Amino acid sequence: MRRLALILVFALCATFAQAQDAGDPVALITDIYKTYTADTASPGYSHVYSKRLQALVDSDSQDAPDGDGGKIDWDVFVNGNDWQVSKLAITLVSKSAKQAQVRARFFNFKEQQDQLFDLVVEDGRWVIDDVRATQMGNRWTMSKILARAPDAFPDEKK
């Protein structure tokens, strides 16, 4: 089940981002969440991660034993393996010429989620450079998990 969820995450990521407006970082995140909230599939896109984050994803996949999905065995966009997304609100937190931060707040089933996306412009379009879950009790940072940083899950007791 974990492997299937991870494959789904990476398959979804591999099918996003070409048609999004290079001037609007919210468009990328909105398009990604259409997959979780719409009755019909969203348009196909590709390459949603920055080169830096994609390198971490690739390294983690290569380091994982056969049959294992690596360090992230859940869908980072919904913070779970299954989803029933409701009350979705996507907002721009900050934006400069080359960096932006977008927040997605929603309920996955009955659990409130708060995701922050750090975006950068690469090759003339917005891509995700990091993902953070910020709700108390379940905080994590995608790049830190993939890099095996000790503070990847700040709410865990050591």
Model-level pTM?
0.81
> What number is the average pLDDT over the span 3-24?
49
CB distance 71 to 60 below 8 Å: yes
pLDDT at res. 47? 82
pLDDT at res. 1? 46
Structure tokens belonging to residue 112: 């409130």
In a domain, 158, yes or no: no
Which comes out higher in pLDDT, residue 1 or 47? 47
Q: Which domain holds residue 18?
A: 2-146
In a domain, 124, yes or no: yes
Which comes out higher in pLDDT, residue 65 or 100? 100
pLDDT at 62 over 50: yes
Instruction: Round to whole Å and give the CA distance between 21 and 72.
Output: 29
Neighbour-count burial of 82, counting CB atoms closer than 10 A to its CB (0-12 exposed, 13-18 middle, 19+ buried):
exposed
In a domain, 154, yes or no: no
Closest CA to 100 of 68, 74, 123, 130: 130
Say how many domains are in the chain.
1
Closest CA to 115 of 88, 94, 97, 95: 88
Digit-coded pLDDT (tens) for 101-155: 999 999 999 999 999 999 999 999 999 999 999 998 889 999 999 999 999 999 8
In a domain, 136, yes or no: yes
pLDDT at 10 over 50: no
CATH number at residue 21: 3.10.450
How does 60-70 read in b/e, with b if 16+ C-beta sit within 10 Å? bbeeeeeeebb
In a domain, 155, yes or no: no
Type of residue numbered 57 = V
pLDDT at res. 14? 45
In a domain, 156, yes or no: no
CB distance 69 to 6 below 8 Å: yes
